[in-house]
């Protein structure tokens, strides 16, 4: 089973005592310490600090992170980006413990916020995949154009950065667990067969050596069928003593389906690229209190839905630790995913619950 594959990545997080060092809005946040849970179908919004909730949540296939930006955007958001790593680190560590090999993290932030936090993500086993630019369009220049004083061009973008897990597997005789690409080579080397035989195993002229066993950046993850062909061939023709090959538990080879679950889900959509042209949220979608928008950082439902749909299947679990108006929870509801969201400011929590309760499912 995949659960046996990478114990570290599947282990649930131990309850933690540590908190982010930077907590300037203590009073307001303390009021949120009494947990409340709002539920609609399989979608839940929890009131309070997400850090307290992770151990109770089911492992996610998708994490939508839209937390502090370092722009004083909401209570608890520091004024500059320099504190972001210390604020995010306990969350990032917890996500790493809870994540599956198939989990994708979508990390929203400003360009500088992301750059500042990126090393912390890498430190905790998150592998950069791609940076998506949310282009809000030139309409967003209005109110953002004090450029003579600021001496820079107006900013009309945010980023949503895709990360996946750095998956490693135990390998007999190797000094440490190996990344998938290394593990494939290691297992084949153990058979005593030349690498050219991987082509014969897969019934191809040279594609297996060129794609699945290359050491360079052009490496391809073998599809389930090719993986099973390799394992079958290795177990039939490789040294008797080393069998089974391509095994994690030493008793049997990994199945094609299990192999497939060792990488993040991703459905490539035709016509979608890494620039997401979408105006800021407005009109009926924007949650307001009287005439004023409640939350400056509310994300377009369409973009959050896109991220969820391409990286998970119906029934999978989404986490939205920094809920705000809980766009991720609503997107999960509307795409038949389960969701655990958290929001620690009681007023935001109440509005997000109303939104989830009254929106189309």
Contact residues for ligand SAM, defined by CB under 6 A: 49-51, 66-67, 74-76, 295, 297-299, 321-325, 327, 342-345, 348
Nearer to ligand SAM, 66 or 89 (CB): 66
Check if the beta carbon of residue 163 is closer than 8 Å to that of residue 122. no
C-alpha 100/C-alpha 3 separation (Å) is: 9
Nearer to ligand SAM, 168 or 335 (CB): 335
| Least spacing, CB of residue 352 vs ligand SAM, in Å | 7
| Least spacing, CB of residue 350 vs ligand SAM, in Å | 12
| Least spacing, CB of residue 294 vs ligand SAM, in Å | 9
| Least spacing, CB of residue 104 vs ligand SAM, in Å | 16
Nearer to ligand SAM, 107 or 259 (CB): 107
* Core vs surface per residue 112-126: b (16+ CB within 10 A) or e: bbbebbbebbeebbb
Other beta carbons less than 10 A from residue 191's beta carbon: 23
Burial of 206 (C-beta count, 10 Å sphere; 0-12/13-18/19+):
exposed
Nearer to ligand SAM, 247 or 298 (CB): 298
DSSP states along 99-138: --TT-EEEEEE-HHHHHHHHHHHHHTTEEEEEEEEEE--G
| Least spacing, CB of residue 78 vs ligand SAM, in Å | 11
| Least spacing, CB of residue 91 vs ligand SAM, in Å | 7
Nearer to ligand SAM, 185 or 355 (CB): 355
Nearer to ligand SAM, 6 or 89 (CB): 89
C-alpha 166/C-alpha 241 separation (Å) is: 30
Which single residue brings its beta carbon nearest to ligand SAM? 324
Check if the beta carbon of residue 98 is closer than 8 Å to that of residue 12. yes
C-alpha 184/C-alpha 226 separation (Å) is: 12
């Amino acid at each position: 089973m995949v659960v046996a594959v990478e114990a570290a990545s599947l282990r649930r997080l131990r309850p933690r005592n540590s908190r982010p060092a930077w907590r300037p809005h203590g009073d307001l946040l303390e009021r949120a310490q009494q947990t409340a849970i709002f539920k609609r179908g399989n979608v839940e919004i929890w009131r309070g600090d997400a850090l307290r909730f992770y151990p109770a949540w089911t492992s996610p296939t998708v994490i939508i992170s839209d937390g502090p930006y370092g722009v004083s955007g909401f209570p608890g958001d520091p004024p500059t980006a320099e504190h972001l790593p210390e604020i995010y680190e306990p969350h990032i560590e917890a996500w790493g413990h809870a994540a599956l090999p198939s989990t994708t993290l979508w990390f929203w932030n400003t360009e500088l916020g992301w750059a500042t936090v990126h090393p912390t993500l890498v430190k905790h086993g998150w592998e950069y995949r791609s940076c998506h630019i949310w282009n809000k369009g030139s309409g967003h220049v209005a109110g953002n154009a004090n450029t003579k004083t600021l001496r820079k061009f107006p900013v009309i973008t945010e980023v949503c950065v895709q990360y996946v897990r750095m998956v490693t597997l135990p390998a007999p005789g190797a000094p440490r667990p190996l990344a998938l690409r290394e593990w494939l080579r290691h297992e084949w080397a153990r058979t005593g067969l030349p690498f050219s035989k991987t082509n014969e195993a897969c019934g191809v002229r040279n594609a297996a050596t060129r794609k699945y066993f290359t050491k360079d950046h052009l490496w391809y993850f073998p599809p389930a069928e090719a993986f099973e062909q390799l394992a079958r061939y290795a177990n039939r023709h490789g040294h008797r003593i080393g069998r089974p090959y391509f095994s994690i538990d030493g008793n049997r080879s990994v199945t094609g389906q299990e192999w497939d679950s060792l990488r993040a889900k991703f459905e490539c959509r035709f016509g979608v690229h890494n620039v997401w042209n979408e105006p800021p949220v407005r009109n009926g979608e924007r949650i307001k209190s009287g005439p004023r928008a409640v939350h400056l950082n509310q994300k377009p439902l369409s973009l959050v839905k896109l991220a969820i749909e391409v990286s998970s299947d119906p029934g999978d679990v989404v986490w939205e630790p920094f809920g705000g108006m809980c766009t991720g929870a609503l997107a999960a509801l509307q795409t038949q995913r389960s969701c655990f969201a958290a929001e620690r400011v009681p007023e935001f929590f109440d509005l997000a619950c109303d939104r989830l309760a009254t929106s189309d499912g």
